[in-house]
Amino acid sequence: MKYELQNGWKKSIDKDAVFSYAEKYKSFLNEAKTEREAVCECVRLAKENGFKNIEDVEVAGKTVLVRCDFNVPLKDGQITDDTRLVAALPTLKKLINDGGKVILCSHLGKVKEGPNEKESLAPVAKRLSEKLGKEVVFVADYN
């Protein structure tokens, strides 16, 4: 696994390092008064070790791939709870406002036998367009 350091160099980390952060998060969560405190401590630790966050990255003129958790509940093709979409908006708006071209990827449901229309992200693209006030193009490419 690789991540980019602030100076542009790539640094490799192994699975043990990732699990180490997960274990530290668990211990922070046990010691912290709130989950927010634990998350803040993990962010501090990650920054100390050279990890970047969205505030540290220049995206102007770049294409940014964002993996989103848009596994929203649907009923008859309509989104019944858009909490996950709303949670992603600050990140998406920042990337767009900073001049980045944003490509979103996600999934819906647990596809067992190939794609089907009941698990299409088209309603998500439509709702995101409404929320962002910009066209979000849905690409139905199942390859």
Lowest mean pLDDT among 39-48, 60-69, 130-139: 39-48
110 or 81: whose pLDDT is higher? 81
- Residue 121: other Cβ atoms inside 10 A: 22
**Dihedral, CA atoms, 17, 23, 24, 28, nearest 10 degrees?**
160
Q: Cβ distance 143 to 127 under 8 Å?
A: no
For range 64-73, the mean pLDDT: 90
Compute the residue count for the chain: 143
Lowest mean pLDDT among 5-19, 89-103, 113-127: 5-19
For range 94-98, the mean pLDDT: 94
Report pLDDT for 25: 61
Whole-angstrom Cα distance, residue 44 to residue 65?
24
Q: Cβ distance 20 to 42 under 8 Å?
A: no
For range 92-110, the mean pLDDT: 90
The position carrying tokens 């910009």 is 134
- CB neighbour list of residue 116: distance below 8 Å, 6 or more residues apart: none
pLDDT at 131 over 60: yes
